[in-house]
Amino acid sequence: MLRKLLHYRIQKKSKKHKHMDAFTERQEALVNSSWEAFKKNIPQLSILFYTLILEKVPDAKDMFSFLKNFDGIPHNNSTLEAHAELIFEMTRDSAVQLRAKGKVDVADDVTLEYLGSVHVQKGVIDLHFMVFKEAMLKTIKKAVEDKWSEELDCAWGIAYDELAAAIKKAMGWP
């Protein structure tokens, strides 16, 4: 068990996963089960997610049309909830793709080219990706509560890192 935990910590600390071990069936199952927990409380968890982001990067508020005209995070905002759900779903899909294909392909209705252009247009920088990841992990932790583990953190972290790497590549980053 200690060896496994050490392996997950090493993977978690690795910023680039070009040579990562294959995404395991267990990691995929952890992401899928926590995704289901997230979906059960999207209204509250989406507010938590954006609150965590804006606590770290208040200027990010202007990047989201559904936040621009509000003081704080709007409650009962279907656009905010849909955007949060999309981000978490794309990360969950990345976990599934990593397990099945060993790489991330973005869903049919959203192309990497489109995601890259939107991120460039909004002025996304590397700090934003890091803050999103941290907010995502804290939000999933809240969703699963006592089922949270280092292994779950690592699985979501890898899936997010691989999705972010694909988006950054589409943005023209090296």
pTM, entire model: 0.84
- pLDDT-derived band at 109 (thresholds 50, 70, 90) equals low
Q: Which residue has the higher pLDDT, 140 or 69?
A: 140
Domain ranges of the chain: 24-171
Q: Does the pLDDT of residue 78 top 80, yes or no?
A: yes
- pLDDT-derived band at 107 (thresholds 50, 70, 90) equals low
pLDDT digits (tens, 9 = 90+) for 7-62: 333 343 344 444 356 899 999 999 999 999 999 999 999 999 999 999 999 999 99
Question: What is the chain's mean pLDDT, rounded?
Answer: 87
Has domain 24-171 been given CATH number 1.10.490.10? Answer: yes
Q: Using an 8 Å Cβ cutoff, are 43 and 76 in contact?
A: yes
